[in-house]
Structure 1
Amino acid sequence: MAGRLLVATAVVAAAAAAAVGAAAALQAINVTTVAFEEGYTPLFGFDNILRSADDRTVSLLLDRSTGSGFISSSMYQHGFFSASIKLPSLDYTAGVVVAFYTSNGDVFEKRHDELDFEFLGNIRGKPWRVQTNVYGNGSVSRGREERYLLPFDPTTEFHRYSILWTRAAIVFFVDDVPVREVRRSPAMSGDFPSKPMSLYATVWDASTWATSGGRYRVNYRYGPFVASFTDLALLGCRVDPIQMLAGSDACAAAEDALLASDLAVMTLEKQQAMRRFREQNMVYSYCYDTVRYPAPFPECDVVESERRRFKGSGHLRLAFRRRRRTRPGSRPARPTRAADM
């Protein structure tokens, strides 16, 4: 066990250095941020929502009584949604899920759209994982999950997570580095999110599935679990969802401006940074999960050299391939398998 943790620590450190280099080569994303009251309202667990004196940092708590969350005051037809987040810092966070996502499930219950960042807690010594997902028009049976190991400790300082949603593509960012792009294609049909969505942030008990399929549950002796959010950004066209469905084109100019902005242009530098992040950190992809999805998804660009790194379940064959340096005569540690994560 100790050997595997040393390997994990060494490789995560190396990946973190590479991530810093990749981010440094990209133009920083600069958008206007808002105070909580300017763009958000409490959603649930009101006593577990703590706001800073300047109203620009919000902490969400999960304890024995409840989790907590907030929601944007408006719905948006496309946009850029961002927050700097610091995850719960206790050693044991199994079963805890921190989510930052867009959704319209409250309005379109049976055909909702959703774009997710889900941060999955873990047992002591294991790195935090983040899962991204895309749902369109109620396509919950066709989850488009990808999962990555974060190449840094997300509990010691804030890191920025962003979602760009346009009529042409969806891009997820971690610290200005694009980590996933889903381009719209005619074959996706309604699976591509198209209806107005709100922005949510929550922390909640997902003991039944979040850590090793529910093997490790939330242990409230280590609580309360605190996730903090700052640098809140809401860039998009505010809409009334009913008017949008009636055919309003009030957001057309705003959407065109967003598509033409630096945020939406996938430069060569961004493409290269995204490829490096995925090569170093992705541990699951639905595009390679032939067990759940025998027929490939239309937007999946299957690269044979990449496909060979994944099992038929979509999980990486070896999450950590490198071995730690050893003293002469000592036995090198076994690389950590994806299943160990």
Structure 2
Amino acid sequence: MGARRLLALVAVVVALGAAAAALQPINVTTVAFEEGYTPLFGFDNILRSGDGLTVSLLLDRSTGSGFISSSMYQHGFFSASIKLPSDYTAGVVVAFYTSNGDVFEKRHDELDFEFLGNIRGKPWRVQTNVYGNGSVSRGREERYVLPFDPTTEFHRYSILWTRAAVVFFVDDVPVREVRQSAAMAGDFPSKPMSLYATVWDASTWATSGGRYRVNYRYGPFVASFTDLALLGCRVDPIQMLSSSSSGRSAECAASEDALLASDLAVMTLEKQLAMRRYREQNMVYSYCHDTRRYPVPFPECDVVDSERRRFKDSGHLRLALRRHRRPRPAVRSARSTRAADM
């Protein structure tokens, strides 16, 4: 039995390694900034490329900046290739997220990528959040160490939101899936949302709980976005609440059915194995293990004992992740070369 278990373990490790290599790149149509977005705040700190395909957001002593999608969407796929600010960026948060807080103030939904400020020489961390119907007191945060330097080249971050699940991707690898269930009730996002991208001063909490604050001597802090993708059904939330919205709802239902049937939404065995490997190698905090904050487990948390033992009751990883220095690729993609020239 010992030999059989060893062989089974080897088979799993080989499968995990092969899974990431087997994943196909996600191909979706991208749009220029003017086609899908509009400035949100810090207008003087929003810089656009001549071809309109790349936009940079700046944070300086005067203000941060951000942009928003021109429409709201009832489910969809939202994606961008992002290059984060370099050097000392403690307290700086770059966010790429969907939300409807401006329309549904007290019962808003939200799906977040939040890149937390970094001390020079330390690996960057990204946090994902899922909020539904104003459930901010029941945060569903997870944090991961990025296995690359996100300041030297562009990397793609994507959010898939359907009525069945929410999936977060990093460089086309799924890193987190939250399945809708009756037990989650209104905690699962269900109302139309806009897409946002922002950079702002979060000195009070972002880096080591606020121990390290933004140092503007290293500014301005620049986050660049390209390969912007918006795939979903556009809606007017006011019309959606009216009795005359049935036709639009039917159109969105058909659009989402097509999305659910597409390769984007099908969680293949290869995707599941790649997601498992990413989480084992990079996840450093999960609300599912945070029994101090949440003594009663969340309904979607299906945690095995072998995974639980790796985390403290605070939800944080017991031991620091081991990192192996990776050689930088000699050849860069045409997309990264174009975007890096900005």
TM over 0.5: yes
Matched, 1:166 2:167: no
Q: What residue identity is the alignment partner of 1:184?
A: Q
Matched, 1:199 2:200: no
Q: Provide the C-alpha distance between the structure 2 equivalents of 1:309 and 1:196, rounded to a whole number of angstroms.
A: 37
Q: How does 1:163-242 map to 2 (within 5 A)?
A: 163-242=159-238
Tell me the residue number matched to 2:310. 309
Deviations 1:23-53 (A, max 9, x none): 4320110000000000000000000000000
Q: TM-score, normalised by structure 2?
A: 0.87
Tell me the residue number matched to 1:285. 286
CA apart distance, 1:22: 5.2
Please tell me whether the aligned partners of residues 39 and 67 of structure 2 are also in contact (alpha carbons under 8 angstroms): yes
Tell me the residue number matched to 1:148. 144
CA apart distance, 1:321: 4.8
Q: Provide the C-alpha distance between the structure 1 equivalents of 2:118 and 2:109, rounded to a whole number of angstroms.
A: 28
Deviations 1:161-182 (A, max 9, x none): 0000000000000001000000
CA apart distance, 1:242: 1.8
Q: Provide the C-alpha distance between the structure 2 equivalents of 1:110 and 1:317, rounded to a whole number of angstroms.
A: 36
Matched, 1:26 2:23: yes
Structure 1's 320 and 265: CA in aligned 2 closer, same or farther, altered over 3 A? same
Q: Provide the C-alpha distance between the structure 2 equivalents of 1:275 and 1:110, rounded to a whole number of angstroms.
A: 35
Structure 1's 258 and 139: CA in aligned 2 closer, same or farther, altered over 3 A? same
Q: Provide the C-alpha distance between the structure 2 equivalents of 1:204 and 1:308, rounded to a whole number of angstroms.
A: 36
Matched, 1:112 2:114: no
Tell me the residue number matched to 1:136. 132
Please tell me whether the aligned partners of residues 113 and 135 of structure 1 are also in contact (alpha carbons under 8 angstroms): yes
Q: Provide the C-alpha distance between the structure 2 equivalents of 1:40 and 1:195, rounded to a whole number of angstroms.
A: 20
CA apart distance, 1:124: 1.4
Q: Provide the C-alpha distance between the structure 2 equivalents of 1:234 and 1:135, rounded to a whole number of angstroms.
A: 20
Tell me the residue number matched to 1:38. 35
Tell me the residue number matched to 2:5. none
Q: What residue identity is the alignment partner of 2:28?
A: V
Tell me the residue number matched to 1:272. 273
Q: Provide the C-alpha distance between the structure 2 equivalents of 1:288 and 1:106, rounded to a whole number of angstroms.
A: 32
Please tell me whether the aligned partners of residues 117 and 133 of structure 1 are also in contact (alpha carbons under 8 angstroms): yes
Please tell me whether the aligned partners of residues 20 and 271 of structure 2 are also in contact (alpha carbons under 8 angstroms): no
Residue from 119, 124, 133 that aligns with 2:120: 124
Residue 88 of structure 1 aligns to a residue in which SS?
Answer: coil
Please tell me whether the aligned partners of residues 22 and 177 of structure 1 are also in contact (alpha carbons under 8 angstroms): no
Residue from 96, 99, 106 that aligns with 1:103: 99
Please tell me whether the aligned partners of residues 128 and 149 of structure 1 are also in contact (alpha carbons under 8 angstroms): yes
CA apart distance, 1:19: 10
Q: Provide the C-alpha distance between the structure 2 equivalents of 1:94 and 1:56, rounded to a whole number of angstroms.
A: 28
- Larger deviation, residues 192-201 vs 119-128: 119-128
Q: Provide the C-alpha distance between the structure 2 equivalents of 1:20 and 1:53, rounded to a whole number of angstroms.
A: 41
Q: Provide the C-alpha distance between the structure 1 equivalents of 2:239 and 2:20, rounded to a whole number of angstroms.
A: 40
Residue 209 of structure 1 aligns to a residue in which SS?
Answer: coil
Deviations 1:310-337 (A, max 9, x none): 000000001225799xxxxxxxxxxxxx
Matched, 1:84 2:87: no
Please tell me whether the aligned partners of residues 19 and 277 of structure 1 are also in contact (alpha carbons under 8 angstroms): no
Please tell me whether the aligned partners of residues 163 and 172 of structure 1 are also in contact (alpha carbons under 8 angstroms): yes
Q: Provide the C-alpha distance between the structure 2 equivalents of 1:98 and 1:115, rounded to a whole number of angstroms.
A: 14
Deviations 1:68-102 (A, max 9, x none): 00000000000000000000012x10000000000
Q: Provide the C-alpha distance between the structure 1 equivalents of 2:17 and 2:81, rounded to a whole number of angstroms.
A: 16
Aligned length: 306
Identity of aligned residues (%): 91
Q: Provide the C-alpha distance between the structure 2 equivalents of 1:322 and 1:104, rounded to a whole number of angstroms.
A: 38
Please tell me whether the aligned partners of residues 20 and 270 of structure 2 are also in contact (alpha carbons under 8 angstroms): no
CA apart distance, 1:143: 0.5
Tell me the residue number matched to 2:241. 245
Please tell me whether the aligned partners of residues 19 and 151 of structure 1 are also in contact (alpha carbons under 8 angstroms): no
Q: What residue identity is the alignment partner of 2:151?
A: T
Q: Provide the C-alpha distance between the structure 2 equivalents of 1:130 and 1:20, rounded to a whole number of angstroms.
A: 23
Residue 184 of structure 2 aligns to a residue in which SS?
Answer: helix
Say what the alpha-carbon RMSD is for the aligned residues: 1.7
CA apart distance, 1:244: 2.3
Tell me the residue number matched to 2:9. none
- Larger deviation, residues 18-27 vs 225-234: 18-27
Q: Provide the C-alpha distance between the structure 1 equivalents of 2:221 and 2:93, rounded to a whole number of angstroms.
A: 10
Q: Provide the C-alpha distance between the structure 2 equivalents of 1:323 and 1:98, rounded to a whole number of angstroms.
A: 26
Structure 2 unpaired stretches of 5+: 1-14, 326-342
Tell me the residue number matched to 2:57. 60
Q: Provide the C-alpha distance between the structure 2 equivalents of 1:20 and 1:224, rounded to a whole number of angstroms.
A: 40
Tell me the residue number matched to 1:337. none
Residue 102 of structure 1 aligns to a residue in which SS?
Answer: strand
